[in-house]
Amino acid sequence: MDGQHSEKSQSDTTADRTSSAMSQNPRAAQRQAGTRGNPEGDAPCPASHRISSPISRSMKDLSCMKVPQDPAHRDKQAHPTTILLCKSRSSQAALMPKEHKMFMEEAYNAAICFKMLRDLNGSDPLHLKYIIKKIKGMAYRAPNLVLETIHDYLVDNPEISSRHKFRLFHVLEAVIEASNSLEEAWQKSFMQLALENMTKSTELEEVYQDAASDVLLAICRHSWRMVAQHLETEVLTGVFPHRSLLYVMGILTSNEAIFNEGEKACWEEQLAQLAVKSVQFLNTDMWSKELLLALTKPDRTHQEQPPEKAFLFIYYGLILQAEDNSTTVRTHLRTLLDTSHQWPKQREGIALTIGLAAARHLDHVWAVLEQFGRSTPIKWSLHSFCLKGRVRRALTLHLCPRCGQNAEDLQWKWASSTILLSYGQMAVRAKAHILPWVDNILSRMVFYFHYSSWDETLKQSFLSAVLMLVGAVSRNEGAHSYEFSQVSELLDCLMVLMEKEPRDTLCTPTRQQTIHIISSLCKLRPPLDLEKKSQLLSTCLHSVLALPLLDVLEKHTCLFLEPPNIQTLYNKTSSALDQLLQSFIMQSPTTDELHLLLSHLYPWLASEKAQERQRAVDRSTALLRFLSHSHSLDPKEDFRRIGQLVGMLGILCQDPDRAIQQSSVEGLGHLYQLLISQTARAAPMVNAQAPKQLSPASVDGAPVWSSGDQKTAPPTPPEMTFPKDHIFQLDSSQVIKEVMKHLTKAELTDLIWTAIEGLGSASPFRVQAAADMLLTTIREHGAKLETVANLGRAIHLQLCSVCIPQAKEKALHAITLLAQNHTPELVATFLDFSVPLDSHAFCLWRALGAEQPVSRQVLAVLLAWLQERALPPGPRDGSPQPKDKPCPRSLAAMNMLHELQFAREFKKAVQEAFPQLLLALLAQLHYTLELHLPQEPHLPQEPLLPQEPHLPREPHLPQEPHLLQEPHLPREPHLPQELHLPQEPHLPQEPHLPQEPRSALEPQPGHEAPEAMPSPHSTSLEALKSLLSTTGHWQDFAHLELQGGWKLFSTIDTYPQGVSLLARAMVQNHCKQIKAVTSQLLPNLQSKEARERKVAILILTEFLYSPTLLEVLPRQAALIVLARSLRDPSPEVRVLSLQGLGNILFHPEKESLLRRQLPPFLDGFFQNNEQVVVQVMGTVSDVLHRLGAHSAAAQSLGVAINARSFFDDAGPSVTPSPRDLQERDGIRAAAMALFGDLVAAMAGKELSSLRTQVHQSMVPLFLHLKDHCPGVVTQAKFTLYRCAVLLRWRLRHTLFCTLAWERGLSARHFLWTCLMTHSQEEFGIHLAQALSYLHSRHRHIKTWAALFIGRVPDGEQRRHKPAVLHF
């Protein structure tokens, strides 16, 4: 079957055909000629000729042997034979001369090659592969020997099979390609062999012809001009060229590796000349028909176009280009367009032909395409004509209107794709002539984009066409002088194309191509407007940065037959995106343009997905690296709004993804270099060359891992090479600080705004990093910041969303640092959102005063705002204030002065500012009363409980040591001490556990501001109360609380009495702040505000009774001050000044006069008119007060006895009327008040008789705490407290709290315990008094007396048993 028999017979007769072989073998012919010229005839014969007969016989013998069918066995048998031959020949050659040895080796190798060529006729694929490999290896060592052997074999065996010859052609091609040079004789010989077999028809068909053609192509590598000459001769015969000729010319046209440098242009020139010579064939019908038939012939595979067909499209286009007759050109182009457009390679070939023709016939080609685009098949294929066209065609062709497809539909379905590609090829081939046509071409491309049935085919055609057009325009130097009006519409199409790309796949280079097109279009005129540029950036960034991880992208391609390299495709797409950004900045090298680009990257830098952040930071770093290296920015441009970029990159320096960290640090390094470069270029300096990239090594040596855009991270070398610039040697925090040094105030502000915005992120690392950035920036540059008011407001808004304690602490610490230089601005800002006050705002206030000097300044600013006292925005007619209107800062300052008294950060500052605060709060109370604002309903005054505050307070240490272990009593929130009562194991206790003090920077959870805002008046009053309690003036507070004196501040009429009562309490308690308050109030007497002068004069008139006053204000100076106040514009101030001038301090003679009036007053206690008695007792109290330090000690015993006798005034034995009971209640209350005033006046004087009266009054006062009259109860409490102070009881503060607010068993037990503990010597008197109250007509008093007796210890009961049994 393979022609083996014929091969044997030919080998047997080889010796008889020596002369013919000589004629066919050029090397043998040359040698024969040399022999004839040798007279001695000793020239060696060719090895092939001399051994041809023996080798043929040897091969014949071997061929006659029975060859096993097993390929492996056959292979094993062949190799040992060769080895034995080699050994025998080598052993014999050792004894022969050198020339004979070389001859024998050459003969031996030729025989081996001959045998292997014969074995190519086998059918074992593995053995054939082995033989071909061996022959190629031999060809690399001795190509001439192999070529000669192949030639001889083909000549000696002309009847071998086509398959065998096919394999020989492949071997011959490989040998020729392996040869460094090919002799001319061999070129001609093998070229003739190839030309003879290229057109030969065999059972192998085109495969055989292609193998022969490949031999010709291999010869072209050594001498393409000779081959081209033969090809040209064959083509110009007038007969349509054979397919193999077109195949060779197609390979020559497409494969540049065949030619040496510069030779490809020569071939193209020769091809153009060939086309010119072939123009004559266009008018030959047979030639034209065969051409069209070859062009429309279906390909073996529609994915790849055979070389002959690809060349034919080029050849056809060149012929039409050379044609002078435009009618002929139009006719041929229209005929070509009327062929099928179903297959992609066919469409590309048609477009190439049209483009080549357009190089010389642009107008005619445009007309043909326009005419073709208006044809009926094209209209039917367009989207806008789909419905009507299909229905009409269905009625004509009897097709289904719904699908309406047949073979003709497929032929024209993608015709618009051909038109698009044709436009692109026109632009490429027309070169400089295309510029006036660009807008027309773009308009047609946009039309087909919108109205064609969109699919992947049309998309790729559209992109290819636009790429060709844009590339042609970009390469044209005259493009800058044109304005292209259709660029905007084309960009819209590209954005639509990008948006239609699948969001979760990356299988094609569509994104990359589209971005490249956009980059090129942006360089054309007119320049893009800001809106269009922003749309392009948003679309491109979203299409690339929002892609899933590369692992996910690869999963979408797992079912592809030829899956793309996702890593490479993504890298190219990212590179295209970088080029787009660089193109924008090159077109407009300004900082505004840079800000525009970065502003579109900022949302991606803050993305919650790590891969999106990494891609965005890589793009930002690449852009900064480009700017740093290219120095493309205008040096006159000042960097603006760069602070946001520093903030974003600084935050990403703490990203969990190490790759993002490194890229962010590198970006900051390049930004630093860019800032330095801009400064250096502005001033004449030499710029140092910047490094290209930062080393990816981490500081701690940990491996760098990415978010998934890099398939494998390169191993970190042990010694990393860093750029020379010092900025790349620093860690991230130091880099940020270095960059900050070169930022302006506005840029630093932008940086802080970015950090504040990061506090509201949902990512914990961003919140922590933002807090670090904020703290670092304010610590380094807080002093020179501007618009800190807005910054403080923004921090407050973000603080509520910060859930990380460390981040919140750093943010608050930043406020503390910011307050060092911007206290007034921050205070004013915080006041705006502090009504109502929430826990986050309160944390900001506490942070504001964390440093002692700043806390003093905060209080000073608040006092300044308090004195503004602007009218509130609400109506003044008594209606509620609208909630949507902000409260004035004056009232907000009042509220904050109240709240800050409980913050430990302001404790010392409040104590130091007590005089200013006292006077300011009293003036504020008067101000709120003047406004007639609606007030909250008053709580019952017995007891008068202070208002609940908005936030929990810091617990305050007691002012005196606790001697007993006491359980906690519920205290009013404005009191500073923890209350302790002595424990009694046999009685049930309900102690209140103390609260641990909270950190100054920790929010108070669960204590948000109530919805119903307290009135300004109640807030002012609570602030005054808390001022006294938190600064250690609880005794003054107790005086007003136990007397119910706070209600005096509720009306404008009783307000002076309240102020006087407070000042009197300070005098009686020997307040240490009297001197400071006096020094502060003296300037207030000259204030423009009448209320401030009124407050000052009220306090001063009471302070005249304090000896301490004279240390600050001597007597004569006081007279001058009061005399000056007599000329005050306010009548109230003048009256109060006149009263002050009547003080005993200025009239010592009044002392004796008042003392002489006391006995008559005491006689008045026994008047029948009970109202007169009450008034007389009040007068005696007033006399005692006016005497002050000069009190009547001699009459004190008489006053005490007379006053105490009215504690239990029961009146007549008959049942009294309700009016009588009310009057007698007034007498008891007045008597207790007088006794208390006497005790206060005698404080500090050792009078044993008075102390006895005080001891005897304790039980009645104690039991009257259960009196039915509230007024009596109030006076009993206050007098009991004053007596305890005189007797120097311990735990007086706890006693006050118990008397003021406690109502349970614990309060009663504590009072009884105090009484029994401090009055053991007078216990008999107390027991007798308690026994007497068992007969009281008041049920509650009687019950308390019995309970008191029941509490008497057993020892005391036995000692006083007769008395107890008697009662």
For the chain, give the percent of residues with pLDDT over 90: 44
User: pLDDT band at residue 103, thresholds of 50, 70 and 90?
Assistant: confident
Structure tokens at 105: 């080796």
pLDDT at site 831: 93
Higher-pLDDT residue of 15, 1317: 1317
Decide if 850 contacts 818 (C-beta within 8 A).
Answer: no
Checking if the pLDDT of 402 tops 60, the result is no
* Run of H or E residues at 1332: helix 1323-1332
Checking if the pLDDT of 872 tops 60, the result is no
What is the pTM assigned to this prediction? Answer: 0.71
CA distance 859 to 825: 13
- DSSP single-letter state for residue 502: -
Decide if 856 contacts 819 (C-beta within 8 A).
Answer: no
CA distance 906 to 845: 10
Q: Which residues pair with 483 in a beta bridge?
A: 525
Tens of pLDDT, residue by residue over 498-511, are: 999 999 999 999 99
CA distance 322 to 277: 9
Question: How large is the C-alpha radius of gyration of the chain?
Answer: 56
CA distance 581 to 632: 13
3-class DSSP assignment, residue 302: coil
Structure tokens at 515: 């971005």
Decide if 187 contacts 222 (C-beta within 8 A).
Answer: yes
Decide if 1019 contacts 1254 (C-beta within 8 A).
Answer: no
Higher-pLDDT residue of 292, 870: 292
Q: Give whole-number Cα distances, 179 to 130, 153, 187, 215, 1176, in Å.
A: 21, 19, 12, 13, 143
CA distance 1169 to 1177: 13
3-class DSSP assignment, residue 968: strand
Higher-pLDDT residue of 384, 106: 106
Tens of pLDDT, residue by residue over 513-525, are: 999 999 999 999 8
Tens of pLDDT, residue by residue over 961-992, are: 332 333 333 333 333 333 333 333 333 333 33
CA distance 381 to 413: 5
Give Cβ neighbours of residue 849 (< 8 Å, ≥ 6 apart).
Answer: 819, 855, 858, 900, 903, 905, 906, 909
Query: Which of 420-434, 775-789, 1001-1015, 1112-1126 is predicted least confidently?
Result: 1001-1015
pLDDT at site 302: 60
Query: Which of 570-584, 925-939, 1003-1017, 1066-1080 is predicted least confidently?
Result: 1003-1017
Phi, psi of 956 (to 5 degrees): -110, 145
Q: What is the 3-state secondary structure (H, E, C) of 522-582?
A: CCCECCCCHHHHHHHHHHHHHHHHCCCCHHHHHHCCCCCCCCCCHHHHHHHHHHHHHHHHH
User: pLDDT band at residue 1246, thresholds of 50, 70 and 90?
Assistant: low
pLDDT at site 18: 32
User: pLDDT band at residue 761, thresholds of 50, 70 and 90?
Assistant: very high
User: pLDDT band at residue 1171, thresholds of 50, 70 and 90?
Assistant: confident
Tens of pLDDT, residue by residue over 453-494, are: 878 888 999 999 999 999 999 988 888 888 899 999 999 999
pLDDT at site 701: 38
For every residue of 404-432, DSSP letters joined together read ---HHHHHHTTHHHHHHHHHHHHHHHHGG
Long-range CB contacts for residues 1280-1288, cutoff 8 Å, separation at least 24: 1281/1038, 1281/1042, 1282/1236, 1282/1239, 1282/1240, 1283/1236, 1283/1239, 1283/1254, 1283/1257, 1283/1258, 1284/1314, 1284/1318, 1285/1239, 1285/1243, 1286/1239, 1286/1242, 1286/1243, 1286/1251, 1286/1254, 1287/1251, 1287/1254, 1287/1255, 1287/1318
- Residue carrying the six token digits 């006159």: 636
CA distance 1147 to 841: 55
Query: Which of 92-96, 368-372, 829-833 is predicted least confidently?
Result: 92-96
Decide if 116 contacts 135 (C-beta within 8 A).
Answer: yes
User: pLDDT band at residue 1158, thresholds of 50, 70 and 90?
Assistant: confident
As a residue count, the chain comes to 1367
pLDDT at site 478: 84
Tens of pLDDT, residue by residue over 134-147, are: 888 888 888 888 88
Highest mean pLDDT among 151-165, 716-730, 1288-1302, 1341-1355: 151-165
Higher-pLDDT residue of 561, 127: 127
Q: Give whole-number Cα distances, 1200 to 315, 441, 1211, 1259, in Å.
A: 137, 118, 20, 15
Handedness of CA 227, 230, 232, 234 (dihedral sign): negative
CA distance 404 to 396: 11
Q: Which residues pair with 980 in a beta bridge?
A: 968
- State the burial class of residue 472 (Cβ atoms within 10 Å of its Cβ: 0-12, 13-18, 19+): buried
Q: What is the mean pLDDT of the chain?
A: 78
Phi, psi of 980 (to 5 degrees): -130, 130
Tens of pLDDT, residue by residue over 1209-1226, are: 544 444 555 555 555 788
- DSSP single-letter state for residue 716: P
Structure tokens at 1305: 């068993």
Q: Which residues pair with 956 in a beta bridge?
A: 977
For every residue of 1008-1074, DSSP letters joined together read PPPSSPPPHHHHHHHHHHHHHHHTT-HHHHHHHHHHTGGGGGGSTTTHHHHHHHHHHHHHHTT-TTH
User: pLDDT band at residue 1192, thresholds of 50, 70 and 90?
Assistant: low
pLDDT at site 178: 84
